[in-house]
Structure 1
Amino acid sequence: MRFRILTTTLLLLFLNAASQAGVFDSRYPSARATAMSEALVSVPGDFWAPYINPASLAGLNNWQVGSSVQRLFNQPFLQNAFFGALMPLPSRFGTLALNFEFFGVRYEGNTLSQENTFTLSHGFFLLNDLHSYLSVGYNLKYYYWDLGRSVEDRNLGAAGAFGFDVGLQASLYHRIFAGVYAYNLNAPTLGNRVKHDLPQRIVVGVGYRPMTNVLTTLSLDKTVGFDTHAAAGIEFWPVRWLALRAGAMSTPNRVSAGIGLKFKGLMLDYSFQNHPVLPETHKIGIIYQIGGANQ
């Protein structure tokens, strides 16, 4: 039993190192974003905007609820799920969102690690007219990390910390887009005796819509202590109810693809993303919106 737990723990560490991940590393709930290699920081967002750029919440003006699950590197012991709700405020006050993420490592009924993140997000327009807009948004987050129990059945402890993100987004003629997103600006840490620095990132990007049913994107993503990676994505709506998406990124070199199906207020998204060393990641999400129309 101990050997199996040790083997799983070592594999988890390998996965973290290989994917440049760490405690509370950014994991995207949006299958749309993953299908486009997460290159959406600059363009109008969807329900999962708080994880990509909270400024794009400003353009969402309907009530929504949603959930997403992903199978990281196709490993059953890596469990990751997201839940959220979106609430529009009176137009000049923007939009609020509440989100919850669960990430756990379980093997044969034993919890080796569990990360929970609670997020309150707000986005609103600073400028919004017929030809252009400028929006700002922020996330207030609470991280809670539980290390579970050791092989000797000892409680390994738990810790919590607060994080703060901010984003900006702008558009000209609703065809040219630019955005920036700063993640964990307050440099939060977890733990008392041993400090764990939570990841800090900055993402910048641009987007261009050559036709009303085509969107192209490009972004640069820098996590402190790691290499900068570039990503690009494309989204094409051949008909009103079907979206086709694809993307690619560097360091590590990965490609992705996915589809979206839309029926009335229901949106179903799926994405696939490969990895040069590890197995692929699959993600599926569902969103239900009530009334209204997005920018």
Structure 2
Amino acid sequence: MKKLLAFLIVLILVIPMSGRAAFDDMRPSARARGMGNAFVGLANDATAIFYNPAGLAQLSQIELYTTYQKPFGLEFLKYYGIAAAFPTSRFGTFAVSGQQFGVNYRDVELETELTMSLAQGITIMDDVHSSLAVGYTINYFQLKFAESVGGVAGSDQGALGVDMGVLAKIRNRTTVGFAVRNLSSPKFGDLVQKDLQRRLSFGLSYEPYSGVRTMGALEKKIGYETRGLAGVEAQIFDFVALRLGLQSYPNYLTAGLGLKYFGGTFDYAMAYHPVLGPTHQFALSYSFESALKKVEK
């Protein structure tokens, strides 16, 4: 009975949100989630493909990433994400990613959201004190619904979307980023159309001391309140990072932990929703650059 009640609450609160903002609020990076998702002005790892593709230009070696979460700790909600970034010597950094979010109840996939993405970030200006990078992401969205109880056939729809991003570094300690999600406003449906809303993000990151980063960002979707995000990351030791963050609309408190060893990184994040409860997210990543440096030493 408790599981059924929780399921009904999610149908009321989460699924309608998904209908108006599908593919939009999964927050694929555990590291970014731990910092309140204020990542658009930093975006310095492979997960930049999800937040600000211009940030990919900062990478110097191959990075692989995978993540898993059960939103709000509910068994019938599951999310998986993967990403890989491949720097080149002449054309910046290319990246690919895949995401899947599903609503499964009693072994029936009620809704499945799939996203496949290709991105590129490239530096267009670089001098001693500053740099400027731009990037884009091409997304293919697929939305599936199961057959209804009354026997009405489910649906399987697809759409293409484009994201754009800019990232500027100022005197090595400050970066400023701007990104547009769903720039092309992709649409689903024939008779009744639903579009994936355009989202504007602006943020900055400042490193007052070596190993300490502070971040702030604003997000705006047309017709909705402007969302504020803020976070901090502190590198306690070479292999341990602690993170804290918060965001508004809805109000979240977040925290996270990063552990590094021999090129690999384990990230954990927790985001607490005042109504639906906590979401725990886990991620593994691997940087060939870090591994090679350790071998050389």
TM-score of Structure 1 vs Structure 2, range by shorter chain = over 0.9
**Residues 256 and 270, structure 2, Cα contact 8 Å, conserved in 1:** yes
* Alignment match, 2:222: 224
* Alignment match, 2:30: 31
Code of the residue aligned with 2:231 in structure 1: it is G
Residue 207 (structure 1) aligned to one of 187, 205, 208: 205
Cα deviation, 1:61-120, whole Å, max 9, x if unaligned, reads 211222101110111101100012211111x31101110000110011111111100000
Code of the residue aligned with 1:233 in structure 2: it is G
**Residues 165 and 181, structure 1, Cα contact 8 Å, conserved in 2:** yes
**Residues 111 and 149, structure 1, Cα contact 8 Å, conserved in 2:** no
Gaps spanning 5+ residues in structure 1: where?
none
Alignment of 1:179-190 (within 5 A): 179-190=177-188
Tell me the distance in 2 between the aligned counterparts of 1:212 and 1:284: 26
Cα deviation, 1:147-176, whole Å, max 9, x if unaligned, reads 121113442111100000000010111111
* Alignment match, 1:53: 52
Tell me the distance in 1 between the aligned counterparts of 2:191 and 2:37: 35
Tell me the distance in 1 between the aligned counterparts of 2:215 and 2:33: 13
SS class of match (1:236): strand
Residue 109 (structure 2) aligned to one of 92, 111, 114: 111
SS class of match (2:14): helix
* Alignment match, 2:260: 262
- C-alpha distance 280-21 of structure 1, shift in aligned 2 (>3 A): farther
SS class of match (1:280): strand
Fraction of identical pairs, as percent: 35
Residue 160 (structure 1) aligned to one of 155, 158, 167: 158
* Alignment match, 2:123: 125
State the shift of 1:15 in Å.
Answer: 2.2
Gaps spanning 5+ residues in structure 2: where?
none
**Residues 165 and 184, structure 1, Cα contact 8 Å, conserved in 2:** yes
* Alignment match, 1:150: 148
Tell me the distance in 2 between the aligned counterparts of 1:183 and 1:56: 14
* Alignment match, 2:67: 68
State the shift of 1:193 in Å.
Answer: 1.4
Code of the residue aligned with 1:24 in structure 2: it is F
Cα deviation, 1:220-261, whole Å, max 9, x if unaligned, reads 011122111111100000111000000011222211000000
**Residues 235 and 241, structure 2, Cα contact 8 Å, conserved in 1:** yes
**Residues 132 and 172, structure 1, Cα contact 8 Å, conserved in 2:** yes
* Alignment match, 1:88: 87
**Regions of 4+ moved over 6 Å:** 4-7, 18-21
State the shift of 1:279 in Å.
Answer: 1.1
- Count of aligned residue pairs for this structure pair: 290
* Alignment match, 1:22: 21
**Residues 5 and 107, structure 1, Cα contact 8 Å, conserved in 2:** no
Tell me the distance in 2 between the aligned counterparts of 1:254 and 1:17: 19
